């Protein structure tokens, strides 16, 4: 679809790459692999109760690490509060401010008011949960004192252009990751199915469960529409994931200030790969916009960590049945994360690896690291911590030494085809 832009920035601004960080380890990985900022959860007021939410002590360490790289940290406090839920919010926000958090992401007006009045100096960003989909809404929140709005994931690229043309508040938009089947995440399916409140941090992702489909004629027994005697797949009520890697120019030229990657509960394999790819793409575009080309290797790289099929959400059209998850997968990821480099001896060309998944001699593996560096090799020799020769590495987190064909650095990753 050809985009009829109503707005085009005359001076291009490099967007921030904002990555998820469910744990301190993931935060450090995201920043090393190219994220300009990360968003995390605190010990209260967030929507990911099962993510590795940060203590204040961990936040202090995270802030110190981020400052070394010139990166920012945002804290998601985007729950919908019921009576009594906002207790302690003022102290929570003040502690975030004093620790050195750069911004807090909020959806509930009560929490926004508490943060602005009781923790002055802590910037507030509006969460996507608030469904900001027009410039009048952004102007309203700007007047309330907010510095940035995360757009609803239902906004089209044409609407992004109109919004940018009519307001100068910072715009943050999702560019990669899971899509919620409900409007901007405001869902009660989990409440009904598992008695876990999705908008207070307890979503059980009921939309991703597998369901049977039945015909219920009046006065007759239910008849399955999926159990036909043949091999069949049950239905879900879920969307495919988003990927905007092929549309970086549209996002930048239409004034998106922050590229948001979804996935605080995803692995370091996912975080490192996706941050690495989008940094490479954004850097390439900013260096030479006129001759920019989306590289196939970037697309292929994202598929190595994809959990579902990929599409562009609502940016260019209303999703059809092709952007919903049902039936058999049309494309299945084929790589798994198997190790992280702890050390490298340049003289012996021996790398020390911490195992994350099973591998053995004869496996063809891929090493990758920050700056989009990659190389493949076959494993021909391995030793354990006691320098004893081994044929396989079956034990979780075990230390393995191996010769590598090219230099590697601590923090580089290793993966292989499933």
Express each pLDDT in 344-365 by its tens digit: 999 999 999 999 999 999 999 9
Section 129-154 average pLDDT: 96
Residue 177 and residue 308: Cα distance in Å, rounded?
A: 9
pTM for the model stands at 0.90
Domain positions in the chain are 16-183+239-326, 190-238, 335-417
Strands of 284-390 (E only): list them.
310-311, 324-326, 335-345, 350-355, 359-360, 364-369, 373-378
pLDDT greater than 80 at residue 225: no
| Superfamily of segment(s) 335-417 | Translation factors (2.40.30.10)
Beta carbons within 10 angstroms of residue 322's beta carbon: 9
Q: Which fold is adopted by the domain 16-183+239-326? A: TIM Barrel (3.20.20)
Express each pLDDT in 12-69 by its tens digit: 999 999 999 999 999 999 999 999 999 999 887 875 555 568 999 999 999 999 999 9
Express each pLDDT in 64-116 by its tens digit: 999 999 999 999 998 888 899 899 999 999 999 999 999 999 999 999 999 99
Are 16-183+239-326 and 335-417 in the same CATH fold? Answer: no
Question: Which tops the pLDDT comparison, 184 or 13?
Answer: 13
On whether the CB atoms of residues 81 and 115 are closer than 8 A, the answer is: no
pLDDT greater than 60 at residue 314: yes
Cα 360 versus chain centre, distance: 31
At 3 the pLDDT is 43
């Amino acid at each position: 679809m050809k985009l009829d832009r109503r707005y085009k920035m005359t001076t291009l601004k490099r967007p921030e790459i904002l990555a998820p960080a469910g744990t301190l380890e993931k935060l450090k990985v995201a920043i090393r692999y190219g994220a300009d900022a990360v968003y995390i959860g605190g010990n209260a007021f967030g929507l990911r109760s099962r993510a590795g939410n940060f203590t204040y002590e961990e936040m202090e360490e995270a802030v110190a690490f981020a400052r070394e790289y010139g990166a920012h940290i945002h804290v998601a406090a985007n729950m919908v509060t019921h009576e009594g839920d906002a207790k302690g919010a003022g102290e929570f926000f003040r502690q975030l401010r004093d620790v050195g958090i750069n911004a807090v992401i909020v959806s509930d007006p009560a929490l926004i008011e508490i943060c602005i009045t009781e923790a002055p100096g802590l910037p507030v960003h509006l969460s996507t949960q608030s469904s900001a989909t027009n410039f009048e809404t952004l102007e309203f929140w700007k007047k309330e004192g907010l510095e940035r709005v995360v757009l609803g994931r239902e906004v089209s690229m044409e609407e992004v252009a109109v919004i940018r043309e009519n307001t100068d508040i910072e715009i943050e938009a999702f560019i990669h990751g899971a899509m919620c089947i409900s409007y901007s995440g405001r869902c009660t399916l989990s409440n009904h199915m598992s008695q876990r409140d999705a908008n207070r941090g307890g979503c059980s992702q009921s939309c991703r469960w597998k369901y049977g489909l039945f015909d219920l004629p009046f006065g007759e027994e239910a008849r399955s529409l999926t159990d036909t005697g043949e091999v069949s797949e049950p239905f879900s009520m879920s969307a495919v994931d988003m990927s905007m890697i092929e549309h970086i120019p549209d996002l930048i030229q239409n004034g998106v200030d922050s590229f948001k990657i979804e996935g605080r509960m995803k692995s370091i394999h996912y975080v490192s790969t996706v941050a690495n790819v989008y940094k490479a793409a954004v850097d390439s575009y900013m260096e030479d916009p006129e001759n920019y080309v989306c590289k196939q290797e970037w697309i292929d790289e994202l598929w190595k960590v994809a959990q579902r099929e990929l599409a562009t959400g609502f940016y260019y059209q209303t999703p059809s049945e092709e952007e919903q998850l049902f039936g058999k997968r049309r494309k299945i990821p084929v790589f798994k994360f198997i190790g992280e480099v702890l050390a490298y001896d340049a003289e012996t060309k021996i790398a020390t690896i911490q195992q994350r998944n099973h591998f053995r001699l004869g496996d063809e593996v891929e090493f990758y690291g920050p700056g989009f560096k990659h190389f493949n090799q076959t494993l021909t020799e391995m030793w354990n911590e006691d320098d004893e020769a081994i044929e396989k590495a079956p034990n979780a987190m075990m230390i393995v030494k191996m010769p590598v064909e090219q230099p590697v650095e601590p923090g580089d990753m290793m993966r292989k085809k499933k």
